[in-house]
Amino acid sequence: MMISKKVAVFVSVIGIIGLITIYGCVTQPGAAPTPAEQIAAAPAAEKPRGISPYEMKIEPLTTAECGQCHFSIFETIKKTGAKHQIDCVRCHREYHVYNPRKQNYDEIMPKCESCHLSPSGGPFHGEHKNLIPCLACHADPHKPLVIPMGQVETSCSLCHSKEGNEIKNYPSRHTTEVACADCHAERHGYIPECSACHESHSPEVQLTTENCMTCHPVHKPTQISYAEKTESAICAGCHDDVNDMLQKKETKHTFVKCGECHPAHKEIPPCSRCHGQPHPRTMMTDVTKCGDCHGIAHDLAT
């Protein structure tokens, strides 16, 4: 007796359902394994006796997982963390162990010197920095290079020794009347424009920090230095009387740049440096007396 077509289809469907019941669903290629499959595939030493998570091997938190709860700190490190963009667990070996009754915050926080040591094994900035805690300058370890200038005044010279020595050894108003934070208040490393405090003493020269520092080294501003080809108009800002003489009576000296005759500030050269010995030797034995006949260099006799 031939089985009808409908009966054959029915038997086939029953057979497929039976196979699925016995062997389970087939995992599609590329599909993520289920928790049960993960446990089944784990090495024997790591397989839990049950499905309780307390019997499973738990890996340390990843930085991404820490950032899910500590989002603001994660964003700070992301933007301004500098070399502190490392795994959180490298510094925080213990976490969520603060006890308000014990007030153990300092005890559980990582110590800077556990990573930051000088070649000699002392504090990172040198042995003499022991008296200055790291957090006095690097107030937030999550943004270590963002240094609040207003609270670190006494320790600037510990790292910036060159600048500190210049201010100390060449006293000026920058030594007695100005603190580091007064100029560098905006942020650590900020260099202000001189025009924020000073007015130009040379109306013909634009007041910019670059122009000011042509003559005035900022941390020893009274130690004036300049290049030979520095414009005489800059010198005229302070030496206006000399400039008036040169402009009033036009001679070859009028067109000589100040730095060509005065390579160092306040240096007065002998006339023979440029003019050699134009007179008999007996007249040139004392070149300091050239002015007896020729007047001063800035106001030559006619």
How does DSSP assign 38-71, residue by residue? HHHHS-GGG--SSS-GGGS--PPPPHHHHHHHSH
Question: Which of 192, 220, 251 is a domain's end point?
Answer: 192
Tell me what the mean pLDDT of segment 241-249 comes to. 89
- At residue 77, the pLDDT reads 96
User: Is pLDDT of 253 > 80?
Assistant: yes
Mean pLDDT within 2-22: 54
Tokens representing residue 17 in the block: 């359902």
210 and 225 belong to one structural domain:
yes
Q: How far apart are CA 278 and CA 271, in angstroms?
A: 10
Residue 81 has pLDDT above 90, yes or no: yes
Give Cα 111 distance to the centre of its chain. 22
23 lies in a domain?
no
First to last CA, the chain: 146
**Same domain for 73 and 126?**
yes
Which residue range(s) make up the domain with 90?
61-146
Based on the domain organization, do 286 and 203 belong to the same domain?
A: yes
pLDDT of residue 26: 43
If asked whether residues 141 and 152 sit together in one domain, one would say no
114 and 168 in one domain?
Answer: no
Per the domain annotation, does 203 fall within a domain? yes
Task: Say which residue the tokens 């009274």 belong to.
Answer: 222
Claim to verify: residue 300 and residue 210 sit in the same structural domain: yes
Token representation of residue 54: 């307390």
63 vs 28, which has greater pLDDT?
63
Beta bridge partner(s), residue 117: 123
41 in any annotated domain: no
Q: How many domains are there within the chain? A: 3
Q: Residue 26: inside a domain, yes or no?
A: no
- The whole-angstrom separation of Cα 103 and Cα 99 is 6
* Domain finish residue from 160, 192, 224: 192
pLDDT value at 28 more than 70: no
Say yes or no: 203 and 275 in one domain: yes
Per-residue CA distances from 169 to 103, 156, 164, 166, 219 (Å)? 46, 16, 9, 5, 10
Q: Is 114 exposed, middle or buried (0-12, 13-18, 19+ CB in 10 A)?
A: exposed
Q: What is the per-residue pLDDT for 134?
A: 82
181 and 204: one domain? no
